[in-house]
Amino acid sequence: MSTTPRPTDSDAGTLAVDAAFVTERLRGFIADGVRKVGFERVVVALSGGVDSSVVTALAVLSLGAGNVVAVFMPYRSSDPQSRVDALAVCDSLGISARVIDITPQVDAYFVRFPDADRTRRGNKMARERMSILYDLSMAERALVLGTSNKTELLLGYGTLFGDMASALNPIGDLYKTQLYAVARHLDLPQSVLSKPPSADLWAGQTDEDELGMRYAVVDQVLHLLVDERRSRAEVIALGFDATDVDRIVSRVQGSQYKRRPPVIAKLSNRTIDREFRYPRDWGR
């Protein structure tokens, strides 16, 4: 008898999480990770979406409202609703958002490359936001928190050295559908919970349109492949569409480089990360 759920829109079953437990765990993770390296504060890019809203709420729970710098960084094509939602999240958490419009610096760059496509422009926006976060990290003595979830990390649906850059990522082991359970537990504003997930690079963009698949399906397939180590054939035999499964497998493999540090040419007897192995918490 199989207990594996068939594809549904529900996030029940194997993807279910105990949101209260996860929240408590992540609260401890942030406090430990930040204070261990001599910081008290964090800086988060808050977009008004569910991922960054969850991270911001977890940070406030963990460190207190006074220690969380939330930065909202719109581009001129960002959906106006994003600002409304980001500010609503800040209101509910008792913090104020920094608003830094990235339009001038992005547009100044693309004056040189007027024909650049949407992917280049989206990557540039993500990297401009990264450069601002790391500047504020220095200015505010605040560690950068990451907001990439497990689904997008596995699919490579993110910009290398852009939105994927951070010092600590509290949500990188939670699938998108699992994040919603945590978001509901954290009592985030309803508008954040109910809108379709989007990278908000242009009007009307949604993740599910871009991926061509629903998160509910993607997450179950990823869970079977990655967490349960089922083979491609086994996942298809469970009733998932073969084309979807192949696309997911191919995306996960093709984006492996994004999840690894740059490749170092081995020359010596003690190469960094090969034989020179210390924990990141070395000496902390």
Partner 1 sequence: MVLERSRTGVSADAPVPEDAATPAGAPEALADPAGSVTIALAQFYPRLGDRAANLAAHLTIIADAGAAGAGLVVFPELSLTGYFLKDQVPEVALTLDSPEVDALRESSRAGGIDIVAGLILESDRHLFHNAAVYISGGEVLHVHRKVYLPTYGLFDEHRYVAAGDHFRAFDAPLGRRTEHRWRAGILICEDLWHPSAATLLARQGADLIICPSASPGRGLLQGETVGTASSYDVMTRTYAQLFTTYVVYCNRSGFEDGVGFWGGSRVVDPVGSVVAEVRGAQESVLFHTLERSAVRRARVAYPLLRDERNDVNDAETDRLRRRHARG
DSSP codes of every residue in 243-267:
HHHHHHHHHHHHTGGGGSPPPPPP-
DSSP codes of every residue in 24-52:
HHHHHHHHHHHHHTT--EEEEE--SSHHH
Stretch that binds partner 1, among 102-110, 182-190, 193-201, 266-274 (CB under 8 A): 266-274
Candidates 268, 279, 280, 283; binder of partner 1 (CB under 8 A) is 268
The Cα–Cα gap between 266 and 213 comes to: 40
**279 near partner 1, rule: CB under 8 A:** no
**271 near partner 1, rule: CB under 8 A:** yes
Three-class DSSP category at 108:
helix
Stretch that binds partner 1, among 82-90, 127-135, 237-245, 257-265 (CB under 8 A): 257-265
Q: For partner 1, what does the binding mask look like between residues 230 and 249, x meaning CB under 8 A?
A: -x------------------
Residue-wise burial string across 188-217, b where 16 or more C-beta atoms lie within 10 A, e elsewhere? bbeebeebebbbbbeeebebbeebebebbb
Candidates 212, 275, 281, 284; binder of partner 1 (CB under 8 A) is 275
Candidates 3, 263, 282, 283; binder of partner 1 (CB under 8 A) is 263
Q: How far is the CB of 270 from partner 1 (least distance, A)?
A: 8
Q: How far is the CB of 37 from partner 1 (least distance, A)?
A: 28
Beta partners for 69? 43
**227 near partner 1, rule: CB under 8 A:** no
Reference 179, options 7, 4, 16; nearest CA is: 16
Q: How far is the CB of 227 from partner 1 (least distance, A)?
A: 13
The first and second tokens of residue 50, run together, are 């569910």
Beta strands (DSSP E) in 46-192 are: 68-72, 97-99, 142-144
Candidates 115, 194, 267, 279; binder of partner 1 (CB under 8 A) is 267
Nearer to partner 1, 185 or 251 (CB): 251
Stretch that binds partner 1, among 14-22, 31-39, 168-176, 258-266 (CB under 8 A): 258-266
Stretch that binds partner 1, among 10-18, 142-150, 200-208, 260-268 (CB under 8 A): 260-268
Beta strands (DSSP E) in the chain are: 41-45, 68-72, 97-99, 142-144
Residues touching partner 1: how many (CB under 8 A)? 12
Residues at the contact surface with partner 1, assessed by CB under 8 A: 229, 231, 263-269, 271, 274-275
